[in-house]
Structure 1
Amino acid sequence: MLVVLVVLGVLVVAVGGFALWFFKIRDPLKGEDFYQFHVEQKWPWELTLTPEQEKAFMAGLEAFDDNEGGCYPKREEGILRVYSPMMLISLFSMTEQFAAMGPAAIQDPARAVRELVDRAAQGETLGVLYYDDEWMGEGVEEIDGMDKYRFTDAVMSAMHAQGVDHEFAGGYADEDKGYATMGVLVKNPQHVDRMYDQAHALAGPAPDYKNRLDVWKDVMKPENPEYLEAFDRAEVEKSKYINTLMFCFERMANEYREARPHMRYAEPHDVLSVVMARMLERNMPGCTWTRPPTREQYELALALLSNRS
């Protein structure tokens, strides 16, 4: 009996340890160990804070994730996704407000972060976007003949115009959660281009593939760590010049339904281009930036959404 109890105890500890690793340390999206609330002092919004402030801010986010509505920092985009209430909050705005709270935020970061989330929950402002994972409507499975996957594909297509001179700055759309993000960058500064050139030089010449086995071998080969570090530095530097638009699928879908009868022969992505450009131009609910846009960024975003071929 004693042996059985010992074995059961070991199993309980093992299962508990696995659960801690899977849910708190392992990033379920990347499938790898990744502590999501670590201090980096890396991305522009993080540099708003001192190392001590960022440590406290991350502790506050972790406390909110553990005890409140749950959250996940999308670091590169500078966005905090809050699970309940469902919303996206600009990390640029959050860190500025956290720093403005002074020593009180460091002394009680859990309270400070909860207060910031509560502020965002009071109403959509610049840097705050509400989303709804039931964005199609209760019991609705298609919009204009499109399921959620095809609608999301159309959204992604609508965000990438043809023939507009700009620097690619990324984009993302989540058909399950009901939101999209669109990076906006007019042009890389010259020093950023040089950083990318230096990184690619470390990667060496492009491989000469003879067959599929060569491709497989190259894919399986570990990347040069010096190249990865140099490329990451270039990505971080580039991010300083990127602004990000956030769109709510629910509001886009409502506008799409209204616009569709007036554009009966247009492709869905063209209708969405018109809808998204209108939402941006008229400052309509369901569309916001992670930080105040420059005139160049605003005009580029309109061009990207308005020009399709």
Structure 2
Amino acid sequence: MNNAAISIEAIDALLPQTQCGKCGHPGCRPYAEGIVAGEAINKCPPGGQATVVALAALVKRPALPLEEPEVPPQVAFIREAECIGCTKCIQACPTDAILGAAKLMHTVIKDECTGCELCVAPCPVDCIDILPLAQPEAARQRARADQFRQRFESRNRRIALEESRRKAERQTRLALNKRPSSPVDAAEASADPADLKRLKIEAAMARMALTKAEKQLAQHGTAALATQVESLRLASLAAQNALERASKAPTPADEVAIKKAKITAAMSRAQVSKAEKAFGEAPSPEQAAQLDALRQAAVAAQQTLDQLQAR
């Protein structure tokens, strides 16, 4: 291993591994690489002045004051009763510290959260709080730097693999699309009203997330936020294009719509029943709110089914 590589590893070992991007880089290791290339050592707000002093001793440079105010140890907290299950925060989290699935409540795994704040901007309903950590939890979070690094690197490997898979699938679809079209192809490509509704919601949420991130970028102007804004802009454009394509497609047969509505109504009823059993006879206020939302969704699903069957 050459001296530059050794220096990068040593510098990275001194950084808090929040992977927050506040230094202007998309992670702690890229910042370590920047320091080796001559970049200033005072750009890590989560690390604080103590990190600047440690870096100065390692690279034999003056210990400058922090470029931005210090960010103390903190964690994200999702107000679960307000969460709509959009998964935007899951996609933004650099350490996979958020648990949940589409249209279901999300929660933060506290011991895996670095407090990077990257989940805040994409959230379309502002249901995420950033809470400070008191001692001794603050010290324990800083001691988990190696764990955060490993999770960040694991996430990056997973994303690279998923991108390779998507690329291969796109190439396969392109090859299939070169075949002559037929009436069956046109029927399969028809738009379902439920899909149109979903696409409209996704397009609106994508626009909201983009607008919020653009405001964050205007205030802070970091490279990580700029990258996030560009990603959200592409996602918003893709969602809008998908909606426009679906809007131009022919409507499917009523039987298909009724079948899907029956499935949706049955799943909604099952979710209500499952929640009632899980929460018991005396649910907490948050559980009661979630149960009420599930019941409303079940009623709406049944109404949709009734309307389709009445045609």
Bigger radius of gyration: 2
What is the TM-score normalised by the length of structure 2? Answer: 0.30
- Higher RCO (Cα < 8 Å, 6 or more apart): 1
**Structure with the higher fraction of residues in helix conformation:** 2
**Structure with the higher fraction of residues in strand conformation:** 1
